[in-house]
Amino acid sequence: MSLALVLSSGQRLQLEVLAVVTGIGLVVIGYFLISFVKGAGYEPVPSGILDQMIQMSHPAKGQRVFDLGSGFGRMIIRVAKVTGARTTGVEVDPLKVWWTRRAIRSNHLEGQVDVIKANLLDADLSQADFVFAFLWEGIMQKVGDKAVREMKPGSLIVSYYHKILGWDPETQDAKKRIYLYRVPERTAVT
């Protein structure tokens, strides 16, 4: 006698629903695990830290702020609202890019805030006056090298949690792990 004959139709329906819910759960978990393996994991900057990053760097209306690894766009939206700066998020994850574009529209910030789907190491930073970042230590080193190659000398990088090794922060809150760096002249870094 097969198991199907022993189960009632209600029990079979319950098993089918359980199988569908389990499958969806596995897809969601797999999506986030793949994101972390690809280096596109997500952990938001705490609100108080973000506010201090804004205060420490002082972006102003008309200036360009980039957020590398912008996640769901919270930082670019907040910076734009508080300062009036033009902000751009750089995010590789298409779901996060979609969500950010939705948030930009719902906040009526089209034209002031945008997000591009790209690997942060491939994004063009030549127009950035500021770069905000909450990235891993090894990536921060690559961002520092990229900033020297692409950003205007004197532009600012505001990093939460990880330093750019070999760079001296212009300002820092070591306790909260916020570091503000000024991009040096191209000849100053080898």
Q: pLDDT by residue (tens digit) across 24-75? A: 766 666 555 555 555 556 678 989 999 999 999 999 999 999 999 999 999 9
Distance CA 70, CA 81 (A): 16
- DSSP run (H or E) holding 156: strand 156-160
Residue 18: its pLDDT value, please?
78
Domain ranges of the chain: 3-37, 47-188
Q: pLDDT by residue (tens digit) across 123-148? A: 999 999 999 999 988 899 999 999 99
H runs (alpha helix) in the chain: 3-6, 9-37, 47-57, 74-83, 94-106, 137-150
Does the domain at 47-188 match CATH 3.40.50.2300? Answer given as no
pTM, to two decimals: 0.78
Give 178's strand partners. 160, 173
